[in-house]
Amino acid sequence: MSTSTIVPHRSTEEWIALFAELTAERDELAIDEGWRVPVAKRTRRMIDQLPPGRVGVAVGDIADLKQLNSATGYQPRTDELFHPAFQVRASDVLILGKRDGGDQFILVGHNARAAAARINAQLARAPMTDQERSAYVRGVCVKRWGRWLGRVVAWSGLHAVQPFPRIDWQFVDDVDVRDIHAAASAAERRLFGDKARRA
């Protein structure tokens, strides 16, 4: 005896609404394929589910991402350099995920500064090839100091003091869990204000 699945009759509008609902649920549970951290929607949902308490908040942005992508040749190679650092999970890290829709990150933890420092320390040991590192340095120095002076700085070896790659962080300490979103927005404004002044 064969059995058949009965599909309930739905109007076009009902199917569209169901698809939108399933898409929203998927987006809220997704992991970013490139960075392998929760996407922004999932991160916000995780933050909203944190128990009451006080935490530290860090908002970070990958330094010179465009030059990094150009040096390594393509985005997936850049992703590979960051994966080991993002896999660092200390006991005081509650959430590490994407912030909004760009390449910014939010870290929430009982000691956000220490956690961010561990991530940057891991990034400083990223397995770059000499060719990738050289191309990145040339791109960053030229961007910051102009074509002629940038090349002089790159050739001089002064770039060696800059860890590679890294994330620039802004911190807000001792935040009530209910105020994480507001604190993160304030940190992000400071982060990009600093970047604009350095540019």
The count of other CB atoms within 10 Å of the CB of residue 19 is 10
Which tokens sit at 121?
């320390």
Higher pLDDT, 57 or 147: 57
Instruction: Supply the pLDDT for residue 151.
Output: 86
On whether residue 77 sits in a domain, the answer given is yes
On whether residue 139 sits in a domain, the answer given is no
Alpha-carbon gap, residue 152 to 146, rounded angstroms:
10
Instruction: Supply the pLDDT for residue 26.
Output: 63
In the chain, how many domains are there? 1
* CATH at 111: 3.30.70.270
On whether residue 144 sits in a domain, the answer given is no
Alpha-carbon gap, residue 8 to 28, rounded angstroms:
26
The one-letter amino acid code at 126 reads A
On whether residue 158 sits in a domain, the answer given is no
Q: Which of 155, 131, 121 is nearest to 77 (CA)?
A: 131
For the stretch 97-132, pLDDT in tens is 999 867 899 999 999 999 999 999 999 999 989 899
Mean pLDDT of 134-151: 88
Instruction: Supply the pLDDT for residue 24.
Output: 62
Task: Print the domain residue range for 89.
Answer: 13-128+164-198
On whether residue 183 sits in a domain, the answer given is yes
pLDDT band of residue 152 (cuts 50, 70, 90) is confident
Higher pLDDT, 157 or 40: 40
On whether residue 44 sits in a domain, the answer given is yes
- pLDDT cut 90: percent of the chain above it: 48
On whether residue 48 sits in a domain, the answer given is yes
On whether residue 2 sits in a domain, the answer given is no
For the stretch 8-62, pLDDT in tens is 677 878 777 666 666 666 666 688 888 889 999 899 999 999 999 999 999 999 9
Instruction: Supply the pLDDT for residue 28.
Output: 63
H or E element: which one contains 82? helix 75-86
The one-letter amino acid code at 175 reads V
Alpha-carbon gap, residue 169 to 184, rounded angstroms:
11
Is the backbone of residue 162 left (phi > 0), alpha (psi -120 to 50) or beta? Answer: beta
The one-letter amino acid code at 51 reads P
Spatial contact of 111 and 56, defined as CB atoms under 8 Å apart: yes
The count of other CB atoms within 10 Å of the CB of residue 130 is 7
Indicate the pTM of the whole model: 0.80
